[in-house]
Every structure is written in C-alpha cells, then in structure tokens.
C-alpha cells in the first residue's frame, strides 16, 4: 500500500518559492498560469499486511507530527492500495 502526502504552506503564509516560479513563468511568456504555490510531496510505502484503517490513522499521525510544521503548513494525503 502507498500513501501520498502533500504538505503546503497555509494560504496566509507568503510562498516565496511559488512566487519566484510564477514570476519566471510570466517572464517566459507562459500566459495561462496566474498563480503558483509550491509544497512538498511524500510517497510512503507501507507494509503489505497493514489494515486500511490502521494505515489511515498512522499516515495521518505521521503527516501531522513529523512531516508538517503546523504553524505555517497544512497537509492532505490519500492512500492507494
């Protein structure tokens, strides 16, 4: 089983990396993009014998306690069997 975890800066936090990418795209004449936010992506490989409810709880705890700085970041994740 795999877990995809996405960690992004909260909407209220200035995303300098994302703005730099957005500015670069504008300079390169990519007109279709109006905004960019950059975040982190984690692909977790879980033990094969783990139950989905246990996996869900464990990934949620890992995302919240290890992968995310709750002051400035938020996360979402999805499981894939």
Q: Is 41 in the site for a copy of itself (CB under 8 A)?
A: yes
74 binds a copy of itself (CB under 8 A): no
Q: Which residues of 44-56 are buried (b: 16+ CB within 10 A; e: fewer)?
A: bebeeeeeeeebe
Out of 7, 60, 68, 73, point to the residue binding a copy of itself (CB under 8 A).
7
Q: How buried is residue 12: exposed, middle or buried, by Cβ count under 10 Å (0-12/13-18/19+)? A: exposed
Residue list 44-73, contact with a copy of itself (CB under 8 A): 44-47, 50, 54-55, 58, 61-62, 66-67
**Structure tokens belonging to residue 63:** 């995302």
Which residue ranges make up the site for a copy of itself (CB under 8 A)? 6-8, 18, 21, 24-25, 28, 30-47, 50, 54-55, 58, 61-62, 66-67
């Amino acid at each position: 089983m795999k877990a995809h975890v996405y960690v992004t800066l909260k909407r209220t936090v200035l995303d300098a990396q994302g703005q730099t990418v957005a500015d670069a795209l504008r300079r390169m004449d990519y007109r279709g993009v109006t905004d960019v936010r950059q975040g982190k992506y984690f692909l977790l490989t879980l033990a094969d014998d783990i139950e989905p409810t246990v996996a869900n709880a464990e990934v949620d705890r890992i995302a919240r306690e290890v992968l995310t700085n709750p002051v400035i970041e938020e996360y979402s994740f999805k499981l894939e069997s």
